[in-house]
Amino acid sequence: MKVLVSDPLSNEGLEILKEHFTVDISTGLSEDELVKKIKDYDALIIRSGIQVTQKIIEAADKLKVIGRAGVGVDNVDVDAATKKGIIVTNSPEGNMISAAEHTIAMMMSMSRNIPQANTSLKAREWKRNKFMGVEVKGKILGIIGLGRIGSEVAKRASGLEMKLMGYDPFISEKRATELGVKLATVNEIAKAADYITVHTPLIKETRNILDDEQFALMKPSVKIINCARGGIISEEALAKALASGKIGGAALDVFVEEPPFISPLLDFDNVIVTPHLGASTQEAQVNVAIEIANEIVSVLTGGLAKNAINIPSVKPEAMAVLAPYIRLAEMMGKIAGQLVEGNYEKVEIGYNGEISGKDTRPLTVSALKGLLEMALGSAVNYVNAPTLAKSRQIAVVESKSESSEEYASTVSIKLIGGGMTKLIAGTVVGDEPKIVSVDGDKLDIFPAGYMIFAKHINKPNVIGPCCVVLGKNNINISGMQVGRSEIGSTTMMVLNVDSEVPAPILEELRNVPGILSAKLVKI
């Protein structure tokens, strides 16, 4: 397999990749150059140097994974990658300490005017009064985004004896308390804080999270820090606030447009800047290179994408429990997709018993993959299965219940549409997936190979003639199960056969008196 590294990557990562794959390093490529080159590669590794656009992704016929050495994937068209079934993954842990330390460094430098004083003294000036600073001790630091980096900033700022306020709609009060952070709204932070630092991803909800409205609320001495992504703070609003003297200063590592050579923000004396250096430490670069190289090796050798952005990623400990259920869900999806007749508009996936307490997202994705594979073949994978279901207007509903009658855990898939339903349930026994019912008929089968699911009337002289049909056509039966039911009622028979059953033979089976339907399922 071939890996293209299109931004500088530390040797430690390259060495790991070279043990497994052919690795080409080609940095500074334009979009058109990458469009031409990408079609030969199975993996692409980037930092923030290039934009992986839809055009590049569309040309990437063999590409299975895009690996970002670093955190932000705002330079990747993740939607286009998802549609094409390409995993997008990153290395989120490797540079968080460096980014947090850079944030603190920027806050301290700004508080003591270090960059300005440095420039002045080197110009042979001795202006001690001009660079009067402020202490950070006892000041309020507002942290917007309390994920990996925001939390590390909080820990360090606590050490500096600052008071902490924070806004992050996705963290618990408990976690905030652990970090010594008082949760508040963005506007409350804007009003109260002496320093405000942002550590969110750049997404629709966070773009311009500090805008004119928030700047209007701020103290005149407030200092703003952005070591996350340009655009989280409105650069226009920030420039206006600085120009009118409404705020005390800003420290910026990131910009909407990088390099920001034409930005008016560079012209303010009370703005200090660095050229996107948050992750530029020897340690961070080695860490992210190793992290992403291992991730690419894992994905290309059929393993897990630990940090995938566009598929549910599961921690290895949780995976040990989930793995057999993931296989079960995919198999059940495949079976349901082959048993169903007509179109379905809704898929209900039920988790009962112990499994309901686990992270079932990978099971749902696997069930959808199995289901859609029957219609779409290899075009569907774990990445694009939910998107493909959505684009086909198939509603996917999950339900969970702690109780499960006969087994510790069961998974069910119900397909609904056009007045019909198809319901299949399964469990895991000794790590092996087992089907326990189809359309309410109890079964006990370990799905494998070719299976005929035949709905029939429970009466004498139905099963025998079916076996005769298969026997005279030289199709070996390797296993058989008949669902329990009262005589005269309908039930399901499952025949494991050793070879494909051609359509005319299936038709012959359907014509056996008492057989109501017969379908061949291939696993």
Give the number of residues in contact with ligand MLT, rule: CB under 6 A: 8
Choose which of 3, 21, 23, 48 interacts with ligand MLT (CB under 6 A). Answer: 48
How would you list the strands of the sheet with 87-90, edge to edge?
A: 22-25, 2-5, 43-46, 65-68, 87-90
List the interface residues with ligand MLT, window 173-232 (CB under 6 A). Answer: none
Could you tell me if 295 and 288 are in contact, meaning their C-beta atoms sit under 8 angstroms apart? Answer: no
The residue sitting closest to ligand MLT, measured at its beta carbon, is 70
Choose which of 13, 67, 72, 483 interacts with ligand NAD (CB under 6 A). Answer: 72
Q: Which of 276, 327, 373, 508 is catalytic?
A: 276
How would you list the strands of the sheet with 450-457, edge to edge?
A: 477-482, 490-497, 450-457, 515-522
> Does 279 sit near ligand MLT (CB under 6 A)?
yes
CB of 149 to ligand NAD, least distance (A): 3
Q: Which of 125, 135, 213, 258 is catalytic?
A: 258
CB of 239 to ligand NAD, least distance (A): 20
Active site residue 276: yes
Output 42 or 168, the one with its CB closest to ligand NAD.
168
CA distance linking residue 478 with residue 432, whole number of Å: 18
Q: Which does 410 bind (CB under 5 to 8 A by kind): ligand MLT, ligand NAD, none?
A: none
List the interface residues with ligand NAD, window 153-182 (CB under 6 A). Answer: 167-171
What does the H/E/C string look like for 311-380?
Answer: CCCCCHHHHHHHHHHHHHHHHHHHHHHHHCCCCCCEEEEEEEEHHHHCCCHHHHHHHHHHHHHHHHHHHC
> Does 224 sit near ligand NAD (CB under 6 A)?
no
CA distance linking residue 219 with residue 248, whole number of Å: 8
Binding mask 408-437 for ligand MLT (x = CB under 6 A): ------------------------------
Give the number of residues in contact with ligand NAD, rule: CB under 6 A: 32
CB of 278 to ligand NAD, least distance (A): 2
Angle between helices 96-111 and 282-300 (to 10 degrees): 150
CA distance linking residue 4 with residue 25, whole number of Å: 6
Could you tell me if 431 and 324 are in contact, meaning their C-beta atoms sit under 8 angstroms apart? Answer: yes
Active site residue 229: yes
For CA atoms 397, 400, 406, 409, give the dihedral sign: positive
Q: Which does 147 bind (CB under 5 to 8 A by kind): ligand MLT, ligand NAD, none?
A: ligand NAD
Tokens of 518: 């017969």
> Does 99 sit near ligand NAD (CB under 6 A)?
yes
Active site residue 207: no
CB of 37 to ligand MLT, least distance (A): 22
Closest by CA position to 8, among listed 54, 34, 52, 47: 47
Q: Which of 68, 102, 229, 327 is catalytic?
A: 229
Residue with tokens 């998974």: 411
CB of 309 to ligand NAD, least distance (A): 10
Contacts with ligand MLT by CB under 6 A lie at 47-48, 70-72, 95, 278-279
Question: Would you please indicate which residues are annotated as catalytic (active-site) residues?
Answer: 229, 258, 276
